Chain A
Amino acid sequence: MSVLLDTARRFETPEGIDLTLRIAGPVPRAVAWCIDLAIRAVAYLVLGFVLGLLGGLGVGLSLLLLFLAEWFYPVVFEARRGATPGKQALGLAVVHDDGAPLTWSSSMVRNLLRAVDFLPVGYGLGLACMLVNRDFKRLGDLAAGTLVVYREGAPTDSGDFEGDLLAPPGSLTVAEQSTLLAFAERAGALTPERRVELAEVLSPLTGKRGDAAVSTLLGYANWVARGR
């Protein structure tokens, strides 16, 4: 936790703890937008077909619904659930700069300003704004003070790793513990040679070489995972 990735942002809650949010970039947001567009397009096709049978009443209703859907689809979903269905599908959510959930007014601001972000074509201005901005904010996000972040997933309980339980020498910092866990989690995906190569970086500490070095580190990781 001491070294932050470049897209992680910290904010302090009134209770005095730091929480971390990971900012989403333009690509997942564009994909989410396409999903939302597809959802609306299907809805328009179905509604257009049904309302087409109703004559003038149908024309009026479909224009009314078109207006509501084009302007208020993101407003309502983001204000009520924090994300449009497209964003939800990609695990994104919209929050305030201080991590608090979106209010109706902020949702209105950021989504009405889509009209400007969309200019001159296909969110050109919004993209340009996101790229010169360290929080990937488009104009609407700047005005509303909002961030698009990755929804926090359920914590991955990786359980035990193969090997014994071994007490690490001395006490480890959180960063060192994280490194050990990361190694143990990825060990299965690495070739045996690469595993040995990585494990032998710590040979001066463990005094082991070859497969023994790997199993020693996995043992430490087990110890750390169980929180001894």
Chain B
Amino acid sequence: MTGLKIGLIWIGLMSLPLLALASTTDGTIDSTYKYAWSENIGWVNFGTAAGNVHITDSALTGYAWSENYGWINLNPSTSGVKNNGEGALSGQAWGENLGWINFSGVGIDYNGNFSGSASGTVSGRVSFDCANCQVKTDWRPACNNSVDDDSDGKIDYPNDPGCNSAGDGSEGSDVHSGGAGGSGGGFMPEVYPSFKAEPTITKLIAALPQALETILQFFKPELPPVKPSEISIKELIPKETPLTFRGKWQLLTYTLENLPFIKFTLAPLPKEFRALAQKFPTLKKTFEETGVARLIDVERLKPIKLTLPGLTESLRPYGPIGPEGQGVPVARLSPAIKKQLPSEIVFAKTGGQLIDFDIALSVTEKGKPQQKIATISGKSLQLAVKPDKPVKSVKGYVVFKSKASRPTSLELPLNSLLASLIFANPVFAHPQEKPVRVEEKLVLLEFEYTDPDADGIYTAEIQTPVIEGEYEIITVMDFEDLELGKKEIRLIVVVDPEGYLYEKDGDKETRIPGAIVSLFWLNPETKQYELWPAKEYQQENPQITDATGKYSFLVPEGSYYLKVEAPAYLIYDGKPFQVKEGSGIHINIELKTKYWWLKVVDWKIILLILFAFLLLYNFYRDKLRERQTIK
């Protein structure tokens, strides 16, 4: 009977905390320490903004997020994770892809640190305090939450006599409630039931299934990641459409904030391109018809081949100036035609100004226009430029840049037979801010443009460098008007080598001197191939090669073929090919020797054969002698 009384008293004392006032603390998860870890499902994030996890004295609410298995509801309708007010958790959470997860092994200490582990069939053991995982909250038990929960004017342990420890879940009773392990007794130790010291063997036995599970898991294939449940997220999305999604706002439109974006997309073509289009009406037409009108369209030009007309062709629309396909010297142009010449553009001619160079327009990687024309090393080059305003002088410089030509986004409009002289950044005369920005040490040639007939067109004649490579021609215009100062036009020139004749000897090539190289062209009038009249173009045809075996022709547009004759070699009769205006012919030609067998049968071989014959004859004589002796 006495025992029964004691039991009733004990139960009564145990139930006292139930009547105690609840803590006012409503905690959230720490933004740094928010990850639990499971061998089976990986990281579990308790602190996502969308998950909105809250810890109160009685329960946990919100959602935890598993990287691989989606949302875990901490407060499902049929269960939920409960808090006994002192941080000892119990009850179960629910994951669409994980099933139930039991939290009875998890606790929160009076500093808000989670410890222990939850467990589930799929999730396995979800640890809250492993080597790299930790979950922390700002929730505190009533005796450590800086709140006077029982309104007795005393706050927390040890000030409030109702608190037996900082981990006590109630300030409500000043009488020590005694008991342990119940729902929040005053003497509840800070170590929760599941963390009580257990005998080592029991611990080991308890840990055995987990260890076995880990071993089994090692041999199991990895589970494929499961998509997070849509239903869980559904609950997070507001039914009412947020302002952003109402379709009323222009999310990418003109505002002060995105002005640079608008500026970029609507910006016109760079001034260099506009100036070019202004100076070459055909180019303007091309731009208009292909819709190249804005800065962003420059990118579209990169893979396209554009060719600007040479001096004669650019003037042809303004009146008859000579036969089709042939250039006209500047001096022979009428004053009216000369006025139409695009200003501040350097035109290149050759062959006594009878051949105009084709100008290939390309776009560099930086989106700048670049002009290229083609020639061959050591040939004469006539340059012509028309300044916009009266000038005191026009000077030119040839500067060496590099041995090989630089790759550009566009190819030259030349076939493989042709050489190239490249003029880059050429067209546009830039005001010269500094004194002549010529790399003095690299200047190969300095020359002066002259205007003997005072027609406003300045011309100069230079020899292209003999060594192939990349060069730059800089034309500097010194204006009479001091305000205008000086302007420079920079041109990049790539010079390719001449063609040569050779004979192949294994891997080596032997140049052939003294060969006669004749160039034949298809005369459009007679429709017959004739020897090309090179003298009209200040050149020779046929050409006789020197010790280097080199030859080259700079020819106007047309159809041509080459014929090569050399002593002791078979005659080479090339196939006809097309040449564009202002291009060079410099094919490397292999000649076959007439006496090819001489190479195989030299004096040593002849001597060897002779020796073999003598031997055979000797054997024959021996045989004859033997027969005679037998007889």
Report whether chain A binds chain B: no
Q: Hey, which bits of chain B sit against chain A, CB under 8 A? A: none
